[in-house]
């Protein structure tokens, strides 16, 4: 059975997860004031709307990274399950361990 376009793109979702999560983390930590800064420095940070826009974009990138990670993990589980065959005990190990449920 030929692989669908989504199946062929799933490994790239793992790479996209890494890139998006690192970029999003860098943007969310953009220009955060040091706790030792003066009160005026901290107030100017909260008054500057530009740094908040960058942080909001970082939040959206983290959301996209979560979607890419979920896509990659579901594809990986499917491939492991298909390679293992029935009953698929190793690929579903997490759901069969008592302390994981």
Report whether 17 contacts 65 (CB < 8 A). yes
Mean pLDDT computed over 15-23: 95
Is the pLDDT reported for residue 51 higher than 70? no
pLDDT band per the 50, 70, 90 thresholds, residue 2 = low
For residue 64, CA distances in Å to 15, 29, 50 come to: 12, 17, 22
pTM value is 0.69
């Amino acid at each position: 059975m030929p692989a669908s376009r989504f199946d062929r793109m799933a490994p790239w979702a793992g790479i996209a997860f890494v890139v998006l999560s690192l970029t999003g983390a860098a943007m969310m930590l953009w220009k955060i004031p040091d706790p030792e800064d003066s009160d005026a420095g901290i107030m100017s940070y909260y008054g500057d709307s530009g740094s908040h826009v960058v942080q909001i974009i970082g939040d959206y990138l983290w959301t996209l990274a979560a979607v890419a990670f979920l896509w990659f993990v579901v594809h990986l589980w499917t491939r492991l399950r298909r390679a293992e065959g029935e009953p698929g005990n190793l690929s579903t190990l997490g759901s069969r361990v008592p302390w994981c449920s």
